[in-house]
Amino acid sequence: MGDHHHGPAKGISRWLFTTNHKDIGTMYLWFSFAMFILGGAFAMIIRAELFQPGMQLVDPAFFNQMTTLHGLVMVFGAIMPSFVGLANWMIPMMIGAPDMALPRMNNWSFWILPPAFLLLASTLFMEGGAPAFGWTFYAPLSTTYAPPSVTIFIFCIHVLGLSSIMGSINIIATVMNMRAPGMTYMKMPLFVWTWLITAFLLVAVMPVLAGAVTMMLMDIHFGTSFFSAAGGGDPVLFQHIFWFFGHPEVYIIILPAFGVVSQIIPAFSRKPLFGYDSMVYATASIAFLSFIVWAHHMYTVGMPIAGELFFMYATMLIAVPTGVKVFNWISTMWRGALTFETPMLFCMGFLVLFTIGGFTGLMLSIAPSDFQYHDSYFVVAHFHYVMVAGAVFSMTAAVYYWLPKWCGRMYNETMGKTHFWISFIGFNLTFFPQHFVGLAGMPRRIPDYALQFADFNMMSSIGAFIYGASQILFLYNVIATIVSGKPTSEEKVWDGAEGLEWTVPTPAPYHTFETPPKIDPAHAHS
Amino acid sequence: MIRLSANPTIDTVVKLATVAVGMFAFVFVVMVPLYDVLCDALGINGKTSGEAYTSVQAGVDESREITIQFVATNNEGMPWEFGPSVTMMKVHPGAVNDTVFHARNPLPDAMIAQAIPSVSPARAAEYFHKTECFCFNHQPLQGDSAAEMPLQFIVDQDLPRDIRTITLSYTIFDVTDMVGGVAAR
């Protein structure tokens, strides 16, 4: 056997053929940021059109393509791959493994993603336009009335489903088989735990999504009638299948965010995480409950009252483990030696805003009142509080927290804090007024609206432009750090940080833990 | 746990891949049929049974009258003239009732149609029995011709007393292109 201690290959082949978890993690993170900018650009077009009532910039058909692509790109292109990238970078370093369990498959799961999204974006230039049926692609909008590009869309969903399944199998195989000796399950950092559970959710529900789009494909091209009433099918069946995937998907997005926050808050509170065991059990409970609450997305389809009640109570039950988590984070901070560096600011922003999103979620869970909120801007406000202030804020916190470890340079703290405050203000200005217009009756996914919603919509649009612009600052800060940030070689960049990733040199070398680290059996989880 | 391979990684991968393939199959072989069974059994979505009802000999409940409303809708692009002969009937639970729907194909070519019923309130669906219905079969019509399509039904004596009006809605679909492909259920 030759020399194993080689560095990265040179040039483009380093990235094309790499099997190194850090390289692949980096590619995932950059790709997801590119998608974040693309999806953000779509959002800017939406908000520009909604700046004033009446039709100004785009025609309604194009507007619908924008809302559809914004949702698809943000969910499948930005948020999910960003957390997979973080998992690739951090999980081996957190459990003392030299790499992921299946490095070659890892390369594949990343490299099939960019072509899939290139194809999806190319539908914008096709005859009939891009998919315009909303990110939930309800039949028959996505079958009988769909543009021809729906077939490309189905192919894209298949490819990115495959990527997610391969990625999650890899994560499970890594966590189950490659932990350093002494790293028992209940000693794993919480980020590893939340990802392990997320990966199981992905393996269980991505095939369901693949099944749904396969049925659409068959209805469109092969004469079946899964979702067509004329042939004995039922469009409502589509909604059941979609949300059987879709609700666990919501937790696929948010659980890794919970993990990130559970790493960062203890570090800047200089206290161990409060209630580690209960955090693990709460995560598992949320994952289990996610499978039995899907129909709360479809209270208005005409379910029997028993169904409405079951899904209502089951949904409300989720507030219990989620509440456990929120109180644990607050208890971690209680009497801690708190400092407020950028990662901590983003985590606290997460804590406040995600809790608001959780409360509006509880409001939506109440079947009788949901009839008013259903398909209104209230729903839009709710899920942006959990998706953006939940997932995106925590992802941003993660980048600031681990960036010095990744590249051996400190980011500019003032710029980071500025980024946080502009994001925080811009985000709330965008989405808080949407609660009000939603309750007052403004429906979602419309290019024009009644005059009484004009002021709040203008506020929303201004907020969206501010939030969008603040991400350019983020990009600049990250690039400036990599190129010319203040070098640091401290292993523990943050004095309160705990965990194996802080025991390797800074910047993290290309290969880490080729010999497993020693885990102190007395040492609690990190 | 059963070990499928001496290599623990391969063992994990094979098991998880099986779960993924199993979930894909689950959608087709469990979720779709289960949904149909549940809808039929519970009358969800106002779905009525697609089979003719064999009447059980039981007395007619003369004590109350149920209003039956008939609604007919053409699916988008369906050119037929289609409608009930009477829009409303008053019936006693347990009694056998007859009515007809009219259909006319104004186009020169022969066409095949399929009517899909739905009952509102959905709770009433399981108490609305059709002994004969044009919706049980495809309805072919020659070009430029008309037909009367019969419907015979019984409202169950066990219909909850708070339901006084039942709406039976038919949507008629053009299935000319589909028939020969996959038969409608």
Flag whether residue B75 sits within 8 Å of chain A, measured between CB atoms. yes
Q: Please check whether residue B48 is in contact with residue A253, taking contact to mean a CB–CB distance below 8 angstroms.
A: no
Query: Residue A368 contacts by C-beta under 8 Å, 6 or more apart in sequence?
Result: none
What is the pLDDT at residue A10?
82
Taken as a whole, chain B contains a residue count of 185
Q: From first to last of the 526 residues of chain A, give the pLDDT tens digit.
A: 344 556 788 888 889 999 999 999 999 999 999 999 999 999 999 999 999 999 999 999 999 999 999 999 999 999 999 999 999 999 999 999 999 999 999 999 999 999 999 999 999 999 999 999 999 999 999 998 999 999 999 999 999 999 999 999 999 999 999 999 999 999 999 999 999 999 999 999 999 999 999 999 999 999 888 998 777 788 999 999 999 999 999 999 999 999 999 999 999 999 999 999 999 999 999 999 999 999 999 999 888 888 899 999 999 999 999 999 999 999 999 999 999 999 999 999 999 999 999 999 999 999 999 999 999 999 999 999 999 999 999 999 999 999 999 999 999 999 999 999 999 999 999 999 999 999 999 999 999 999 999 999 999 999 999 999 999 999 999 999 999 999 999 999 999 999 999 999 999 999 999 999 988 766 655 5
A297 catalytic? Reply is yes
User: Is residue B58's pLDDT more than 80?
Assistant: no
ipTM of the complex in this document: 0.88
Asked if the Cβ–Cβ distance from B19 to A244 is below 8 Å, we say no
What is the pLDDT at residue A3?
47
C-alpha to C-alpha distance for A491 and A505, rounded to whole angstroms: 5
A170: distance to nearest CA of chain B, Å? Answer: 8
A325 catalytic? Reply is yes
* CATH match for B66-179 among 3.40.50.11900, 2.60.370.10, 3.50.50.60, 2.30.30.240: 2.60.370.10
Assign residue A232 a region (left: φ > 0; alpha: ψ between -120 and 50; beta: otherwise). Answer: left
C-alpha to C-alpha distance for A223 and A75, rounded to whole angstroms: 31
- Cβ neighbours of B116 in A, within 8 Å: 229-230, 232
Tens-place pLDDT, residues B4-54: 888 899 999 999 999 999 999 999 999 888 888 887 776 666 666 666 776
Q: Which of A364, A376, A513 is nearest to A442 (CA)?
A: A376
Q: Which of A422, A425, A353 is nearest to A385 (CA)?
A: A353
Flag whether residue B16 sits within 8 Å of chain A, measured between CB atoms. yes
b/e map of B103-112 (b: 16 or more CB within 10 Å)?
bebeeeeebb
| Burial (CB count within 10 angstroms: exposed 0-12, middle 13-18, buried 19+), residue A135 | middle
The encoded tokens of residue A21 equal 């978890």
Asked if the Cβ–Cβ distance from B12 to A176 is below 8 Å, we say yes
- Cβ neighbours of B3 in A, within 8 Å: none
Q: Which domains does chain A have, with CATH numbers?
A: 28-502 (1.20.210.10)
Give this prediction's pTM: 0.89
> A170, A225, A244, A298: best mutation site toward chain B, by most B Cβ within 10 Å?
A225
What is the pLDDT at residue A2?
44
C-alpha to C-alpha distance for B34 and B83, rounded to whole angstroms: 33
Amino acid making up residue A315: T
Apex A277 CA angle, A272 and A282, nearest 5: 115
